[in-house]
Amino acid sequence: MDGSIDRTLDALGPRLKRLRQRRDLSLTDLASETGISVSTLSRLESGLRRPTLEQLLPLARAHGLTIDELVDAPPTGNPRINLRPIPSGDGSVILPLTRRPGGIQAYKIVKPAGDDNAEPELRTHEGYDWVYVLNGTLRLVLAEHDLLLKAGEAAEFDTRTPHWFGATSDGPVEFLSLFGRQGERAHLRAAPRDPKASAADD
């Protein structure tokens, strides 16, 4: 499996370059869309650097693709959903739960144990994010706020706010993420009350 992962990541650079050129974009144009610097994009395309999860997400959004489509992961038997985990260069694994480009996309993400003493590299990009922790502890840094989310806790934020998320040194973290384009949010809707029940209360 490691060999397959390496081949997929090694082929990603030329694929990223083809996707950009197909859209007739310069590196500067793509940097403006993704919030990733021109020098980093150039190194990714040349294969001198492997992408992190935080880089794959805005790249997928910019090209109107899901992450599995961006990295050209082999399809599974289900034509609607590709459940093949996608590794990232930082040791994270992303499991896409939706396939449609654009709109809100859902992912299950597992991040390995982190270093509590490491200084997070905050990023910004267009979009809106909703996260729900399944297992472990998620460290979420939002501008000057440094939060620890436990299993069962959720957060939502505008990704134009400088942010970073990862696991703590206590162990890996597993969470769900909903990513939307700018202005799109995850809305919770409660079931309407039964009118008969309301009358009975009166």
- Find the helix or strand (DSSP H, E) in which 128 lies: strand 128-135
Specify the pLDDT at position 69: 74
> What residues contact 159, with CB distance under 8 A and at least 6 apart?
124, 125, 126, 127, 128, 129
Written as one letter, the residue type at 125 is: H
Q: What is the DSSP letter of 11?
A: H
CB-CB contact of 56 with 13 (8 Å): no
Closest CA to 85 of 70, 97, 100, 101: 97
Share of the chain above pLDDT 90, in %: 21
Which pLDDT does position 191 carry in this prediction? 47
Type of residue found at 174 = E
Token pair of 51, please? 């992408």
Q: Find out whether 174 and 135 touch, Cβ atoms under 8 Å.
A: yes
* Predicted local confidence at residue 40, as pLDDT: 93
pLDDT of residue 12: 82
- pLDDT score at 27: 93
Low-confidence ranges of the chain (pLDDT < 50): 1-2, 76-79, 81-82, 188-191, 193, 195, 197-200
